Structures are given as structure tokens and as C-alpha cells.
């Protein structure tokens, strides 16, 4: 498959307000389907150029794919779904909007920091216990 095959679809979806995580997932899935369709066509004895054309034709038009994704409001970012609310919350609500938009990343970050604090606390408590122990 040519590099960047679905780049225009990726850019269109991001420009129209689809969450980046869903866009990446969709592009990955389309690339996998394209690869599977192309392999099946090659296995049936079709030439490489014809296999690529058949795979693209079977996947469908990028505009139709984009329209199907954009028709689902749950896939849009908060600020795209609720532009007026986002407008009123812009300055005082930026931290809240950031947290809403980046829930998975923040969850991983909080878990990593919590684990690091627990580990360092254990190491420091052990060192303190070893230092404070009276000699035998």
C-alpha cells in the first residue's frame, strides 16, 4: 500500500472535529482492510495495479466514509459537539475541557505518577528504617 494512502481522510476528519484517537483507529483499520483486500485479489491471480484498484473500490469512497463517521455525534470532540458551551467555558474552563478531551492520557499519567510515588515512598521508608535502626 502506498504510504499515506488515507492521509486526506485523516486530515478531513481531524479538521471536522472527530476525536484524534478515533481518527487514528479508523485509519489503522482502513489500512488493514485495504491490505487484506489487496492480498486476496493478488491471491486470486490479479495483477498488482489491478489488485490495488479493486481494494480501493471495495473499501469505498473516502467522502462516503467521512460522511458516515461525521454522522455520529458521539465521535466528535466536546468543543465540536457543544460549541456554545465551549465558547463560554473558554478561559475559566480550559483545564476542565483539557481533562474531558484527554481522559485516556490523563488516566495513564495519574496511574504512572501514583505508581512512582508509591515506589519512591517505599524506597525512602525502607532507607529511613535502615538508618534509624539501632546497632546490635
Q: How high is the pLDDT of residue 136?
A: 65
| pTM of the predicted protein model | 0.59
Q: Are residues 46 and 109 in the same domain?
A: no
Q: How many domains does the chain have?
A: 2
Identify the pLDDT of residue 3.
61
- Beta-bridged to residue 18, according to DSSP, are 76
- The series of mean pLDDT values per 10 residues for the chain, 136 residues long, is 77 92 93 92 89 89 90 87 76 73 87 96 93 74
* The predicted structure's pLDDT at residue 18: 92
Q: Give residues with Cβ within 8 angstroms of 35, minimum separation 6.
A: 1
End residue of a domain, out of 47, 70, 93: 70
Phi, psi dihedral angles at 41 (to 5 degrees): -70, -40
26 closest CA partner among 74, 66, 54: 66
Asked whether the CA dihedral 8, 38, 33, 3 is positive or negative, the reply is negative
Domain that holds residue 54: 1-70
Cβ(112)–Cβ(120) below 8 Å:
no
Out of 24, 52, 70, pick the residue that ends a domain: 70
Say if residue 107 is in the same domain as residue 62: no
Amino acid at each position: 500500500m502506498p504510504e499515506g494512502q488515507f492521509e486526506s481522510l485523516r486530515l478531513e476528519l481531524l479538521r471536522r472535529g472527530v476525536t484524534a484517537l478515533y481518527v487514528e483507529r479508523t485509519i489503522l483499520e482502513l489500512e488493514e482492510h485495504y491490505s487484506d483486500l489487496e492480498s486476496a485479489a493478488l491471491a486470486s491471480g490479479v495483477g498488482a495495479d489491478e489488485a490495488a484498484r479493486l481494494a480501493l473500490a471495495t473499501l469505498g469512497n473516502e467522502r462516503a466514509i467521512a460522511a458516515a463517521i461525521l454522522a455520529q455525534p458521539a465521535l466528535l470532540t466536546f468543543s465540536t459537539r457543544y460549541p456554545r458551551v465551549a465558547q463560554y467555558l473558554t478561559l475559566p474552563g480550559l483545564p476542565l475541557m483539557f481533562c474531558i478531551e484527554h481522559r485516556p492520557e490523563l488516566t495513564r499519567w495519574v496511574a504512572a505518577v501514583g505508581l512512582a510515588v508509591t515506589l519512591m515512598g517505599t524506597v525512602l521508608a525502607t532507607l529511613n528504617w535502615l538508618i534509624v535502626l539501632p546497632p546490635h
